[in-house]
Amino acid sequence: MARSSRPIALTLAVVAAVAAAGCAPQDDPTTSAASPTATASCAKANLPTRTPGKLTVATDEPAYEPWFRGNKPDSGEGYEAAVAYAVAEKLGYARADVTWTRVKFDTAIAPGPKNFDFDINQFSITEERKKAVDFSAPYYLVRQTVIALKSSKIAGKKSLADLKDATLGAQVGTTSYQAITDVIKPTRAPRVYNSNDDAKKALQNGQLDGLVVDLPTAFYITGAELTDATIVGQVPQVGAPEAFGLLLDKNSPLTGCVNAAVGQLDEAGTLKQLEQKWLAQVAGAPELT
């Protein structure tokens, strides 16, 4: 079935409990356990950020539309840029107090100390990743989507079975790649790329029958970047809805307070407003059955 951009509030009800509890960590299945120090006051003066009085926020290079506009996170334009600044404001940081740094996707999700306070880069919350990092409560629910050139043999296909013999690709380390291996399960091995830019080039060059990306990115690619491409359809959800969360260092003392900030933004309707402003083009796409 066609689906509009999903209301975050439907599955973020758990966040309200986090917000109500201030900075205290909650036993929520979508988030990592916070460090005990996260129960301390969430006032800016008490937050142990990497640089006192400043908030260091990371994202990838390049930062893609519609999540960031023009590869300029500090502009605050694009859904994730706007969410990052909204979270910063809830934590007491003015825009001038926010410093951006660039970290590759696979580096951010790897175990080990981080050089940022939180990273926002379409990180899907998974149990496997939570072994190495913390996540905030979800700020966006997402579907994985197959796109193809209009001339591709899979353009216009309606079912997963129709994709069994397709050569599909995705960015390394992403749930887009997992959607290929775990849900679509084509007979041909999927191809992996270091970035969506590399994957798009492979699609254009005819090396791929289809590319898997999240739904907002699919609309942007087919609407603004590759005019000869089309959305084939959304990959079915398996289990709990896929959700994006802010990524923090494992057992970060900031996790509880960041959770609270996300919860307050959801309760106030701010996340939904930002979604409507920056992701309004996500009006739905065919469902692969």
Half-sphere exposure of 266 (CA within 13 A, CB side): 27
CA angle 86, 88, 93 (to 5 degrees): 125
* CA–CA dist 211, 2 (Å, integer): 20
- How far is Cα 97 from Cα 53, in angstroms, rounded to an integer? 7
The CATH fold of domain 144-234: D-Maltodextrin-Binding Protein; domain 2 (3.40.190)
DSSP secondary-structure letter at 240?
S
At residue 193, what is the residue type? Y
Average pLDDT over residues 70-89: 97
Largest CA distance in the chain: 58
Question: Which band of pLDDT confidence, cut at 50, 70 and 90, is reported for residue 284?
Answer: low
Query: How far apart (Å, rounded) are the C-alpha atoms in residues 259 and 137?
Result: 6
Instruction: Return the amino acid letter for 124.
Output: S
Do 144-234 and 8-141+243-278 have the same topology in CATH?
yes
* pLDDT tens readout for residues 130-165: 999 999 999 998 889 999 999 999 999 999 999 999
- Short-list 95, 90, 86, 83, CA closest to 42: 90
Q: What is the mean pLDDT of residues 43-48?
A: 95
Between CA 289 and CA 39 the distance in angstroms is 45
Task: Dump pLDDT digits (tens) for 215-229.
Answer: 989 988 998 899 899
Right CATH for 8-141+243-278 from 3.40.190.10, 3.40.605.10, 1.50.40.10, 1.10.3720.10:
3.40.190.10
Query: Mean pLDDT across the stretch 113-141?
Result: 95
pLDDT digits (tens, 9 = 90+) for 270-281: 999 998 899 866
- How many other C-beta atoms are found inside a 10 Å radius of the C-beta of residue 45? 8
The verdict on whether omega for the bond into residue 66 sits within 30 degrees of 0, i.e. cis, is: yes
Q: Which sequence spans correspond to the domains of the chain?
A: 8-141+243-278, 144-234
pLDDT at 21 over 80: no
What six digits make up the tokens of 48?
Answer: 């142990």
